[in-house]
Amino acid sequence: MMQLFLDSTRDRSMSDQLYDQLAEAIASGRLVPGTRLMPTRAVAADLGVSRSTVTGAYMRLVAEGYVEGRRGGGSIVLDTRAGDDPHWTSTALRATPLAAAIGRYESGLSSARYDLTAGRVDHRLFPLAEWKRSMNRALTSLADRLGRYGDPAGDGEVRAALAHWVARSRAVAARPEQIVITRGAAHAIDLVARTLLSPGDVAAVEEPGYPPVIALLRLAGADVVGVPVDRNGIVVDAIPENARLVYVTPSHQYPLGAVLSRERRHALLRWARRRDAGIIEDDYDSEFRYSSRPLEPLQRLDGDGRVVYVGTFSKVLSPALRLGFAVLPIGLVPAVTAVRRAVDFVPPAATAAAMGSFIESGALDRHLRRARREYATRYRMLRAALSEAPIGLLTALPSDAGLHITAMTPDAPSDEILMERALERGLQLSLLHRTYQFSEPQPGVVLGFGAIAGDDIPPAIHRLVECLRG
């Protein structure tokens, strides 16, 4: 039963007040059709009123078509709406222009036959049985701590497992004390931005790049500036001299796929040292590399403590877990953890502990070996399918890692026409133009192969060619 509030000091009778609240709840949908109202005797006892008061309200609800009295079944809410709910239709509050300007980047789950959306993973690869075992172990280990919030940086044992894993799998120089467990990469970036940026500070991002990060930095009060990207990654010489923070994806630039060259890595670190600035290194999908040897992370090359290394398990395992981490310069840890406590207090203890167990048991390494083999096969199939497309229609950009390949489409129709044609053919796409925020967009598609079955890739590209040809 919903919570009811009666006021004996009001001029309106108790029975009328009860009727008003129940009628409003039914009209607004808070009491859904088929719900059985509590017996009049129980309601009277809860509210401290006479049973006749409640009976009168119920009888009026029946008379006006809100509920139906059933012999032996009580009073049942009917499938009807008696008017608009003022709490639903009235909105006196208004978002700030900054908040109102933020659009949703992804369109939600795809129902298309062929899903080439970037940024998605194959849920069928998720190691459910092993994750269940890790979660059960985590809940057992947390049994005596379920009444406490814990450390805002995360459990020490879990951070130790993460430090060991990123050191051997990504060559990141990390101690457990430097790690803060987060609810994904965006959360980590948010914490760092809140800690390092003051309103009006300049933050530089790659152009094209990942729009949600731009929105996040703007919400932190930053003046966000786009910096061009070429085949060697971000153009360091184009970074504004007054930038306080630079966000980069050096291992696999999103969306173009470039790897930040060794020379550019050292140039970026020198720039940050000269300008007393910080760098966020987002290594969002470096686990999946198919040919070239990886370069050392910026974080490992950093000798001044200017680089924050951000990682996520959204691509490694599942975005539904909402787990990520930041490897911080040790001097920044107290401030970031203080901000963390103010924002959302602590990481999700059970999920984080399960991840720690998942890593230590070797289950994460086993899963990654399986996933790499599967995604490598799809990567090669997508490369082959793109190579067979008519020359000039789909030009794949170099990319040796990750879960997407970007292809330029110089003769493509408008975005609206292309998406309409794609949906008609059961094809879901990510368009390159959405990643441009500061300059003229280039025509292209960001082709994700994480969610599509390998055998579906050739027919999907065939349909894409049809869409481009018209």
E runs forming strands in 202-346:
202-207, 223-230, 233-234, 243-248, 278-282, 307-312, 324-327
Handedness of CA 406, 408, 414, 419 (dihedral sign): negative
Specify whether the CB–CB gap between 469 and 428 falls below 8 A.
no
Q: What is the pLDDT of residue 295?
A: 86
pLDDT tens figures, 88-137: 566 788 889 888 888 777 655 567 899 999 999 999 999 999 999 999 99
pLDDT-based confidence at 50, cuts 50/70/90?
very high
d(CA 298, CA 262): 9
DSSP state of 441: P
Q: What is the pLDDT of residue 351?
A: 96
- Average pLDDT value for residue range 221-249: 97
Residue 243 amino acid letter: A
- Average pLDDT value for residue range 60-73: 86
Q: What is the pLDDT of residue 442?
A: 96
Q: What is the pLDDT of residue 286?
A: 83
Q: H-type helices in 388-456, by residue range?
A: 415-424
Q: Of 168-177, 287-296, 412-421, which range is least confident?
A: 287-296
Tell me the Ramachandran region of residue 193: left when phi exceeds 0, alpha when psi lies from -120 to 50, beta otherwise: alpha
Specify whether the CB–CB gap between 193 and 213 falls below 8 A.
no
Q: What is the pLDDT of residue 109?
A: 55
Q: What is the pLDDT of residue 267?
A: 98
Q: What is the pLDDT of residue 445?
A: 98
pLDDT-based confidence at 429, cuts 50/70/90?
very high
All structural domains of the chain: 14-88 (1.10.10.10), 114-122+367-469 (3.90.1150.10), 128-365 (3.40.640.10)
- Would you report the helix, strand and coil content of the chain in percent, each value rounded to 5? 45, 15, 40
d(CA 114, CA 423): 10
Rg (C-alpha) for the chain, rounded Å, is: 28
pLDDT tens figures, 248-262: 999 999 999 999 999
Picking from 384, 406, 385, the residue whose alpha carbon sits closest to that of residue 396 is 406
Q: What is the pLDDT of residue 110?
A: 63
Q: What is the pLDDT of residue 386?
A: 97
pTM > 0.95: yes or no: no
Q: What is the pLDDT of residue 29?
A: 83
Is 134 or 65 the better-scoring residue by pLDDT?
134
pLDDT at residue 25 greater than cutoff 80? yes
- Average pLDDT value for residue range 56-68: 91
For 284-297, give the DSSP string.
SSTT-B-SSPPPPP
Specify whether the CB–CB gap between 416 and 429 falls below 8 A.
no
pLDDT-based confidence at 30, cuts 50/70/90?
confident
Specify whether the CB–CB gap between 319 and 106 falls below 8 A.
no
Strands 202-207 and 243-248: parallel
pLDDT tens figures, 198-207: 999 999 999 9
- Average pLDDT value for residue range 298-315: 96
Residue 171 amino acid letter: A
pLDDT at residue 187 greater than cutoff 80? yes
pLDDT-based confidence at 85, cuts 50/70/90?
low
C-alpha 217 chain-centroid distance: 15
Query: What mean pLDDT, rounded, does the chain reach?
Result: 93
